[in-house]
């Protein structure tokens, strides 16, 4: 120990020696590569504890086989009985790493800000419930979803036997409908005191019956009665509840509950190091210098974003902190979308359209739940919240038609926004001149001549002094003026 660090002496190549008692507790450093024992050990357990301090992994990056690379530590002076011979591992070349960070201030003009949603609050009416089912409301029961449906049991001797679930076919549909409706009521419709709103049972039963008839499909020796399993029942209830929420969005918008400690995220604070080899060097439309990819499809989409004329800015969602909470199978999950894209939809760069893009090949039930959450909860909730711009969601499924699908989706989104803006301005104009609710349906009413407004003809005001009759009852009425006397209309 006296010659450690001295050139030309024993231990001259050692740069640092750390002593923390016997390294038995409280040592969790992952950079320990050598352990040197300089004292006697009383028990074998202490030897194992000391060596365990050097077994913390330094890197959790996966190799090309999807596995962790082997890491070794050199141990000297500690008696430990290995079950195998010591391994002399040659030094490995460290993996190439890149630093992903925001290029500030040169690219601050394409900074992207987003809300951090922690949950949703849904206020549904208590008078009458309706549902709006979509293709994502469909649930397909397969052996992959519910598990094996046939099991072969056989002993060492004797004849084997196949165990099936064919007896589930004898369960009455009314029994299943009742149990599923009851679970839907107890899990999703409770008053502020926590009591189930039993007066809604009949309406929920009607909606559940419609879903079971039109949107439940069984394949591969599966049966509808398997929905009585808790996880599958929760999955079905979530789809029905989302359809009811979707039908009430125009009257009862979903409210977004933001993170109280960090309500808004930004690309400005991104700064991390990675050794992933699938990455894309971004252009001037991305605030970050690199886009770390999960597949080659995402690299193709990055190229599309850099060349599309309507794209103002974009970012790959890697270590951004942009997460979407959702429920799947009765459990809370977190969904991490792939991209955030800012589009120019005619209002200038100060009011862009924020589009959350998901590049997906295979769509399982979890992917359906994510898309349904975005369409029914997250996007309407953030748009109703205000202060974060306009948001939309887009899912790209075919990598070979990615650019065409993106162009078509952008055009459709821009047309929808233009139609919505035109309808909003028309409703405001009608409300201004008529004093009525812009969301109310316009119903024309019959007016009498006495109630008709005076019209100016030839520089003078004229009005009928004859008997009062409905305008529609006056013969020959073609939009002319009325004259004094007999109350007849003249063109």
Q: Cβ atoms within 10 A of the Cβ of 451, count?
A: 11
Q: Using CA atoms, how far apart are residues 163 and 355, in angstroms rounded to an integer?
A: 50
Identify whether the C-beta of residue 57 lies closer than 8 Å to the C-beta of residue 84.
no
Q: Please tell me what DSSP assigns to residue 50.
A: H
Q: Using CA atoms, how far apart are residues 191 and 194, in angstroms rounded to an integer?
A: 5
Contacts of 73 (CB under 8 A, 6+ apart): 32, 33, 34, 35, 51, 54, 55
Identify whether the C-beta of residue 332 lies closer than 8 Å to the C-beta of residue 378.
no
- pTM comes to 0.66
Q: Which CATH number fits domain 256-434: 3.10.620, 1.20.272, 3.90.380, 3.40.1350?
A: 3.40.1350
- DSSP secondary structure string for all residues of 278-307: -EEE--TTBSBSEEE-SSHHHHHHHHHHHH
Q: What distance, in Å, lies between the first and last C-alpha atoms of the chain?
A: 118
The pLDDT value given to residue 438: 41
Q: Using CA atoms, how far apart are residues 394 and 308, in angstroms rounded to an integer?
A: 16
Contacts of 21 (CB under 8 A, 6+ apart): none
Q: Cβ atoms within 10 A of the Cβ of 342, count?
A: 21
Identify whether the C-beta of residue 203 lies closer than 8 Å to the C-beta of residue 129.
yes
Q: Retrieve residue 179's tokens.
A: 């149990």
User: CA torsion sign, 226 to 227 to 229 to 232?
Assistant: positive
Q: How far is CA 424 from CA 367, 386, 418, 427, in A?
A: 33, 16, 10, 5
Nearest-10 Cα torsion for 122, 123, 126, 127: -100
Burial of residue 437 (CB within 10 Å: 0-12, 13-18, 19+) is: exposed
- DSSP secondary structure string for all residues of 222-268: --GGGGGSHHHHHHHHHHHHHHHHHHTTTTSPPEEEE-SS--EEEGG
Phi–psi pair at 381, nearest 5 degrees: -70, -45
The pLDDT value given to residue 456: 35
Q: Using CA atoms, how far apart are residues 481 and 471, in angstroms rounded to an integer?
A: 12
The pLDDT value given to residue 462: 37
The pLDDT value given to residue 399: 67
Q: Using CA atoms, how far apart are residues 251 and 128, in angstroms rounded to an integer?
A: 12
The pLDDT value given to residue 28: 65
- DSSP secondary structure string for all residues of 61-100: -B-TTSSBPP---EEES-----SS----PPPPPPPP-EEE
Half-sphere exposure of 275 toward its Cβ, with a 13 Å CA cutoff? 12
CA angle 470, 476, 478 (to 5 degrees): 85
The pLDDT value given to residue 185: 92
Phi–psi pair at 471, nearest 5 degrees: -60, -40
Half-sphere exposure of 267 toward its Cβ, with a 13 Å CA cutoff? 29
Q: Using CA atoms, how far apart are residues 1 and 23, in angstroms rounded to an integer?
A: 18
Identify whether the C-beta of residue 355 lies closer than 8 Å to the C-beta of residue 392.
yes
Identify whether the C-beta of residue 235 lies closer than 8 Å to the C-beta of residue 328.
yes
250 upstream amide cis, omega within 30 of 0: no
**Strand 455-457 to strand 460-462: parallel, antiparallel, or no bridges (unpaired)?**
antiparallel
Q: Cβ atoms within 10 A of the Cβ of 61, count?
A: 13
The pLDDT value given to residue 118: 93
Closest listed residue to residue 355, CA positions, set 396, 294, 300? 396
Q: Retrieve residue 191's tokens.
A: 């008053």
Distance from CA of residue 215 to its chain's centroid?
A: 22
pLDDT per residue rounded down to tens, the chain (491 residues):
667 767 778 877 777 766 655 555 556 677 777 777 777 777 777 777 777 777 788 777 777 787 888 888 888 777 666 555 666 667 677 778 899 999 988 999 999 999 999 999 887 777 788 899 988 889 999 888 888 888 888 888 888 888 888 888 889 999 999 999 999 999 888 888 888 888 899 999 999 999 999 999 998 888 999 999 888 999 999 999 999 988 888 777 888 999 999 999 999 989 998 888 889 999 899 999 999 998 888 888 898 888 888 889 999 999 999 999 998 887 889 999 999 999 887 766 778 889 999 887 666 788 888 888 998 999 999 998 888 988 999 888 776 776 777 777 777 766 666 665 555 545 554 455 554 444 444 344 444 334 444 333 333 333 334 443 343 343 444 444 434 444 444 43
The pLDDT value given to residue 146: 86
Q: Using CA atoms, how far apart are residues 286 and 112, in angstroms rounded to an integer?
A: 9
Provide the phi-psi class of 319: left if phi over 0, else alpha when psi is between -120 and 50, else beta. Answer: left
Q: Retrieve residue 427's tokens.
A: 């409703």
The pLDDT value given to residue 344: 86
Q: Cβ atoms within 10 A of the Cβ of 490, count?
A: 9
The pLDDT value given to residue 291: 92
Q: Using CA atoms, how far apart are residues 425 and 431, in angstroms rounded to an integer?
A: 10
Instruction: Kindly report, as residue ranges, where domains of CATH 3.40.1350 are found in the chain.
Output: 256-434
The pLDDT value given to residue 254: 86
């Amino acid at each position: 120990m006296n010659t450690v660090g001295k050139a030309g002496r024993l231990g001259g190549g050692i740069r640092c020696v750390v002593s923390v008692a016997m390294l038995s507790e409280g040592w969790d450093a992952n950079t320990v590569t050598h352990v040197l024992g300089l004292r006697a050990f009383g028990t074998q357990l202490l030897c194992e504890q000391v060596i365990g301090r050097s077994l913390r992994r330094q890197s959790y990056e996966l190799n090309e086989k999807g596995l962790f690379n082997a890491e070794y530590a050199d141990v000297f002076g500690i008696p430990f009985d290995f079950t195998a011979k010591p391994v002399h591992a040659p030094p490995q070349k460290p993996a190439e790493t890149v630093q992903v960070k925001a290029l500030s201030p040169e690219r601050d003009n394409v900074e992207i800000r987003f809300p951090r949603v922690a949950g949703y609050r849904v206020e549904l009416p208590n008078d009458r419930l309706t549902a709006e089912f979509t293709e994502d409301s469909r649930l397909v029961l397969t052996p992959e979803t519910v598990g094996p449906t046939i099991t072969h049991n056989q002993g060492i001797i004797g004849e084997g036997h196949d165990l099936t679930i064919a007896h589930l076919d004898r369960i009455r549909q009314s029994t299943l409908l009742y149990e599923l409706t009851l679970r839907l009521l107890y899990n999703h419709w409770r008053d502020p005191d926590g009591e189930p709103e039993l007066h809604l049972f009949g309406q929920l039963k009607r909606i559940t019956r419609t879903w079971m008839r039109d949107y439940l499909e069984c394949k591969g020796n599966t049966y509808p009665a398997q929905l009585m399993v808790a996880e599958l029942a929760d999955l079905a209830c979530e789809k029905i509840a989302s359809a009811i929420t979707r039908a009430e969005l125009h009257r009862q918008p979903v409210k977004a509950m933001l993170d109280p400690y960090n309500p808004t995220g930004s690309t400005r604070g991104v700064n991390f190091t990675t050794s992933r080899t699938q990455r894309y060097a971004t252009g001037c439309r991305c605030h970050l210098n690199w886009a770390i990819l999960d597949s080659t499809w995402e690299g193709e989409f990055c190229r599309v974003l850099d060349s599309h004329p309507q794209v103002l800015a974009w970012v790959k969602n890697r270590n951004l902190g942009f997460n979407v909470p959702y429920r799947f199978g009765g459990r809370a999950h977190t969904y991490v979308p792939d991209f955030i894209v800012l589009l120019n939809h005619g209002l200038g760069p100060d009011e862009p359209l924020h589009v959350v893009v998901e590049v997906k090949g295979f769509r399982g039930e979890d992917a359906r739940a994510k898309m349904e959450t975005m369409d029914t909860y997250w996007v309407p909730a953030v748009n109703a919240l205000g202060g974060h711009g306009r948001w939309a969601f887009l899912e790209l499924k075919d990598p070979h038609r990615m650019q065409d699908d993106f162009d078509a989706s952008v055009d459709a989104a821009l047309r929808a926004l233009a139609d919505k803006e035109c309808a909003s301005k028309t409703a405001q104009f009608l409300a201004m001149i008529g004093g009525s609710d812009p969301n109310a349906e316009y119903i024309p009413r019959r007016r009498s001549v006495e109630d008709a407004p005076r019209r100016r003809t030839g520089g003078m005001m004229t009005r009928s002094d004859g008997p009062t009759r409905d305008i529609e009852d006056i013969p020959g009425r073609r939009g002319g003026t009325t004259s004094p006397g007999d109350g007849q209309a003249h063109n």
